[in-house]
Structure 1
Amino acid sequence: MNGEGKPFGNQGFNQQQQNQNQVQIKNKFGEVKNLFVSGNVDYNKLYSLSEEIAKNLEINSTKIRKFYNHVKKLELDKDVDITRNLNKFVAMLMYDVGREGKPFLKDFASGMKEVVDVVKQKKGDELIKHYKYFVDFFESLVAYHKFYKG
């Protein structure tokens, strides 16, 4: 801090940018959730939202890939209880993120949980269809994250 109580350099700017990124992520996850709630998922909009989230997402590639692999693995097993396994995914996600305690990871976890909660409310064929939407969303999120964050 300088003598005026302001941070030296661009620390204040960095914190402000982080806060804006967090708000952006929350808003975009809200839009994804609304797409899922509507039941009419527009893939162009879904991919656009995943790109916007990925641009602002401060998570390392290994961690996001770990979460994605857990979800993708479920898709391969035809006898899987989707709701049960999505619950396990959310628990794993929350534990891992809570252990690190970083606000931007909590925003990611909260956003993913909101979307998963909508998927879990579906039944029968609608559950399968929305689960596939979720996997597609997550896959594009990982791809855009790799593109923007390397």
Structure 2
Amino acid sequence: MISQDDLRKIIVNKDGSQILVKRAEDLGKQLVDERLKSSQIRAIFDEVRQIESLWLQNEQKALHKVYLLKPKLAYRAARSSEGVPTLKDILSRAIDIVVESPAEAKERFRRFTEFFEAILAYHKAYGGRD
């Protein structure tokens, strides 16, 4: 489990790269152990990528979509007992940090996306499959 302090360092601090990589590796391995399917994590990550591209066109709409990620994660977690609840917990807490400061949300979302991308990479590296 990732502490709130570590999540804050990853999302808020510009120099949080080392902790980002370490925690993403730990979580990627844990999600493989919990048998999270690649298709489940990719589906969520695809939504994050769509928000990332929307940010260039309409920041308010993108921020709105970030808020809506939390109920989508809750829905997916309720439908699956393998890995999704763990991912939902971490990402939901990270989203809270992203949106707590609208003025910094764009940069925080960028770091959130990097963190999620690293989780996805480590999940695959440790054998995450469908």
What TM-score comes out, normalization by structure 1 length? 0.72
Q: Does 1:140 align with 2:114?
A: no
- Unmatched runs of 5 consecutive residues or more in structure 2: none
Q: Which residue of 1 aligns with 2:18?
A: 44
Q: Distance in 1 between matches of 2:25 and 2:117?
A: 11
Q: Which residue of 2 aligns with 1:20?
A: none
| Residue type at the aligned position of 1:60 | K
| Residue type at the aligned position of 1:48 | K
Q: Distance in 2 between matches of 1:67 and 1:109?
A: 10
Q: Which residue of 2 aligns with 1:33?
A: 7
The 3-state SS of whatever aligns with 1:149 is: coil
| Residue type at the aligned position of 1:54 | G
Larger radius of gyration: 1
| Residue type at the aligned position of 1:34 | R
What TM-score comes out, normalization by structure 2 length? 0.82
Q: Does 1:127 align with 2:101?
A: no
Contact 1:54 1:141 in 2 (8 A): yes
| Alpha-carbon distance change, 82 to 32 in structure 1, aligned in 2, over 3 angstroms | farther
Higher relative contact order (CA 8 A, sep 6+): 2
How big is the alpha-carbon RMSD for the aligned residues of Structure 1 and Structure 2? Answer: 1.9
The Cα shift of 1:107 comes to: 2.3
Query: Which of 67, 84, 100 does residue 87 from structure 1 map onto?
Result: 67
CA offset digits 1:36-67 (Å, max 9, x no partner): 47544411211111011101112110000000
Q: Which residue of 2 aligns with 1:21?
A: none
Q: Does 1:60 align with 2:37?
A: yes
- Unmatched runs of 5 consecutive residues or more in structure 1: 1-25
The Cα shift of 1:32 comes to: 3.7
The runs of at least 4 aligned residues of structure 1 exceeding 6 Å deviation read: none
CA offset digits 1:15-43 (Å, max 9, x no partner): xxxxxxxxxxx2x2535423147544411
